[in-house]
Amino acid sequence: MFGVHPFVLMNYDGRYSEVSTLAHELGHALHSHFSDSTQPYAQAAYPIFLAEIASTFNECLLMDHMLKTEKDDQLKLYLLDQYLENLRGTMYRQTLFADFELAMHERAEKGLSLTPEWLNAKYLELTRLYYGHDQEVMKVEEGIANEWSGIPHFFYNFYVYQYATGIMASMALSDAVVKEGAPARDRYLTFLKSGGSDDPLNILKRAGVDMTDPATMTRAFKVFDHFVDEMEKIAARLEKK
């Protein structure tokens, strides 16, 4: 609510998953706090396209901190595995979902029916495409075909792609803050204070992220690749032990 202190209501028992969740939710809280404190009521609310950036930005910084400070290789390997699985599910899987959602709308606009048979076949086709079934990267069983039926986001108005764009933007922003320091931090704080005062793409550009430039996506995947490299190094050290 506008003008109300941004409380975070959650269960917390000190486990790492709870620490990560708290960092995530505090991102939302700070985004709302800075927006409400800076913008008038009519412009304070930020759109969904921006909503998951501050939360995942905090997760990125938390992971960077843990990798720099944690000494236990087994714990670091666990944290990286957990984090990369989350990135895969957000960057990759949500893009697959968006492709499926687009295919549904395109079919409906042609006046064709969305039958269970077509939906199953299209979902299986896209899942196999994304996970390299034909290239034998991994085997995608036919049972995945009806997974779409349990995903409520497909009943929304093109919601899912914003998970992918949000995490890619936050990875670029957090990477800039870690490497550049104060200038990037100040740009990020300006982003938090912008609320819904301008087109979301313009707000992100002022923060240093151009979502119309493929280089932004490439930067995010380079961060992903860096974490995979770290996993391989740690696994090699553990194997020697």
Residue 155 — very low, low, confident or very high, per pLDDT cuts 50/70/90? confident
Could you give the domains of the chain? Answer: 16-92+162-240 (1.10.1370.20)
Q: What pLDDT score was predicted for residue 108?
A: 96
pTM, rounded to two decimals:
0.87
CA nearest 66: which of 102, 17, 108, 99? 17
* Interval 159-196: pLDDT, tens: 899 999 999 999 999 999 999 999 999 999 999 999 99
**What tokens appear for 21 in the block?**
């969740």
* Interval 68-81: pLDDT, tens: 999 999 999 999 99
Quote the CA–CA distance of 232 and 192 in Å, as a whole number: 35
Residue 201 has pLDDT above 90, yes or no: yes
Quote the CA–CA distance of 75 and 18 in Å, as a whole number: 16
Q: Which residues participate in catalysis according to the annotation?
A: 25
